[in-house]
Amino acid sequence: MVPGATAAIGRGERSGLTEPSFRRILLGGLPGLFLMIAPTLFLYLAPWWGLAWLILRLGTIAGFDAASWPLRGMAILLPIAPIAYAAFTMPAMINAPREQEIVQLQASDVQPSEIIKLPATVAIDLPASSHSNFRRRELRPTCEALCLRLLYNGAVSRVIAVARFLDGRVEQASFRIERRGQCPEPELPHKLIRWSGEGNNGPYGIAATVQARIAAGECLVRGEGRIEEADVIVSVGYVKVGDRFVASQWNPWLDFTNAERLEIVEAGGRVLYRYTQVQSALLDAPLRWTTSFGLLTTVIITGWVRRGQLSKPSIGPDGATSFPAFWERR
């Protein structure tokens, strides 16, 4: 083999990118890049072409030569200003009521000045999905993460669990700790939320400290109960659900604002604590259209470019990351 050719091959191997592979990447990437920017180009070029044609038409009616550079220059430059104005003002105009709604949703939030003292009986009102059990197909109230913490930390003596279903059905049950010689196997939710600083005992287990106390005779006992028996109600749920992202993405007025609220309310209605987390996807400026797809899916998503934002730190699953610390850990 010719030495020069050997050296050239060596350089190609060291670079890790031969000329044919570079050509394939170039030919494969450019169409994809064009498809991403083409919708936005069409979005602005279509009205620009329409306004330019209108200016040329009016100019010729007024007696100007359509081929003259002054008229052509006006037709090229004048449409830019109104199109740019619309590109920046339309997102702001559409976002304004969404931003005002976010402020209103959080206006009634209440932050206690001191640790909340809970009464003996507390109700925990959560969506039914928080109570799904790994060993049972049906959904029914279970002593989920917050229930276990309140009982085994001695913050309350009885918890009434309320499960709300999408069809409007509501199921309720009560839980308490009872000392026995041997405890039955507790019925725990399928996805038990763990909080920071607590042990991990497998994907469907509970914190090691709580499991040890159950094994030592502090049994979790299930019974009947109703939310009306509680002196304080702790609830986590959505107070505002916006449009789904699979909706008509071409509509810039779609509302993707979702608001989740964590609340502690006395039976009489007095709010002790309220925390509202709002997640939104507002239109980005200037107005742009994009096409995206995932590496592991064939689904192609097209729509207006939006900027997602979270108004406050996340509540976390069932309030796990933002609940006030009103009990002593033992």
Residues 215 and 126 in one domain: yes
Q: Domain boundary residue among 160, 195, 229?
A: 229
pTM, two decimals, is 0.70
d(CA 98, CA 308): 13
Residue-wise pLDDT tens digits, 241-266:
888 766 567 788 888 899 988 889 99
Q: Which helix (H) or strand (E) holds 87?
A: helix 80-107
Residues 45 and 180 in one domain: no
Query: Can you give the pLDDT at residue 248?
Result: 64
The mean pLDDT value for 134-162 works out to: 77
Q: Is residue 4 part of a domain?
A: no
Residue-wise pLDDT tens digits, 43-102:
889 999 999 999 999 988 888 887 888 888 898 999 999 999 999 999 999 999 999 999
d(CA 314, CA 31): 39
Most confident listed range (4-8, 39-43, 149-153, 268-272):
268-272
Q: Is residue 161 part of a domain?
A: yes
Residues 108 and 146 in one domain: no
Lowest mean pLDDT among 121-125, 190-194, 206-210, 298-302: 190-194
Query: Can you give the pLDDT at residue 24?
Result: 59
Query: Can you give the pLDDT at residue 204?
Result: 43
Whose structure tokens read 């993460």? 145
Q: How many domains does the chain have?
A: 3
Q: Domain boundary residue among 229, 247, 277?
A: 229
Residues 106 and 248 in one domain: yes
**pLDDT level of residue 16 (50, 70, 90 thresholds):** very low
Share of the chain above pLDDT 90, in %: 24
Residues 145 and 207 in one domain: yes
The contacts of residue 49 (CB under 8 Å, 6+ apart) are: none
**Phi, psi for residue 114 in degrees, rounded to 5:** -145, 175
Residues 220 and 131 in one domain: yes
Domain span at residue 225? 121-229
Q: 77: how many CB neighbours lie within 10 A of its CB?
A: 11
- How many CA atoms lie less than 13 Å away from 51 in the CB half-sphere? 16
Residues 248 and 307 in one domain: yes
Q: Is residue 92 part of a domain?
A: no
Residues 280 and 216 in one domain: no
Residues 288 and 237 in one domain: yes
Q: Domain boundary residue among 176, 207, 229?
A: 229
Q: Is residue 25 part of a domain?
A: no
Query: Can you give the pLDDT at residue 13?
Result: 45
Residues 136 and 211 in one domain: yes
Which two three-digit tokens encode residue 265? 């309310």
d(CA 78, CA 49): 11
**pLDDT level of residue 12 (50, 70, 90 thresholds):** very low
The contacts of residue 311 (CB under 8 Å, 6+ apart) are: 102, 106, 277, 278, 279, 280
**pLDDT level of residue 150 (50, 70, 90 thresholds):** confident
Q: Is residue 90 part of a domain?
A: no
Share of the chain above pLDDT 70, in %: 68
| pLDDT over 80 (residue 316) | no
Q: Is residue 182 part of a domain?
A: yes
| pLDDT over 50 (residue 136) | no
Q: Does residue 173 sit in helix, strand or coil?
A: strand
| pLDDT over 60 (residue 156) | yes
